[in-house]
Amino acid sequence: MKKLLLVTLIGFSLTVYFGLTVFILPEQYMSHEKLISQPHFDVKISDRDISLGESFRLDIVTENKGEYGDIHILSTAFPDLTEVGSVVNIATYDFTQPPTNIVPGDEMIAKYSGGLEHMIAKYPSIEAMSRPIHPGSTYHLSQIITPERQGNFSIYVKSVNIPHTSDLSHHPQTGILDHQEEYVQVYSVNVNP
């Protein structure tokens, strides 16, 4: 009798365990909505009109307006330059990872593919990254830029969160496409002779 009770109890416990861990809970967890993090940024440029040889300051504050995410990337690209050199200097930043320079010829992840598609960089850019990214968290990157040629000096700014689960995972969501075939916001400063 005692043995039968024990066998029944063990059989029941094993059924509950395997039933929950292999069949019931996986279904439940799979039905959960994936977290969607949502990047957003504000850009401030100190001067829109400068003389050749002068500098201007580019201040960017990024924010995660959505849910928890793994990685938050802010990219500033310079389509008029062939190299960053001494033109762009990072003044301050509070991203968790130090900003990295991407030079023309570097292979980059493209089309928000998270690594499935790659393209070659055509112009230099600076990428700042924080990971992980909690809801409402903000980061800041400040750069001092001293253009070396007169004319229009353009800057492409974009922010991408990973995992890239929907269009909300990048900012801007419309506009022109950069060399990664990802949307960018374009800012420009007029450099006078």
Using the rule CB under 8 A, is 22 a contact of other proteins? yes
**Contact status: 54 vs other proteins (CB under 8 A):** no
Sheet containing 88-93, strands listed edge to edge, beginning at the edge strand earlier in sequence: 39-45, 56-64, 138-145, 88-93
Which of 44, 48, 134, 149 touches other proteins (CB under 8 A)?
Answer: 134
Applying CB under 8 A, which of residues 70, 106, 107, 181 lies at the interface with other proteins? 70
**105 neighbors 121 (Cβ within 8 angstroms):** yes
CB 184 within 8 A of CB 77: yes
DSSP secondary structure of 126-167: EEEEESSB-TT-EEEEEEEE--SSSEEEEEEEEEEEES--SG
Q: Which stretch binds other proteins (CB under 8 A): 15-23, 54-62, 72-80, 173-181?
A: 15-23
The nearest distance, CB 20 to other proteins, in angstroms, is 6
User: Residue 21: which residues within 8 A CB-CB, separation 6 or more?
Assistant: none
Which residue lies nearer to other proteins by CB, 14 or 120?
A: 14
Stretch that binds other proteins, among 72-80, 81-89, 93-101, 143-151 (CB under 8 A): 93-101
CB neighbours of residue 161 within 10 Å: 29
Instruction: Based on the shown chain and the rule CB under 8 A, indicate whether residue 79 belongs to the binding site for other proteins.
Output: no
Positions that interact with other proteins (CB under 8 A): 6, 9-10, 13-14, 16-17, 20-22, 25-26, 29-30, 32, 34-35, 68-71, 96-98, 114-116, 131-132, 134, 162-163
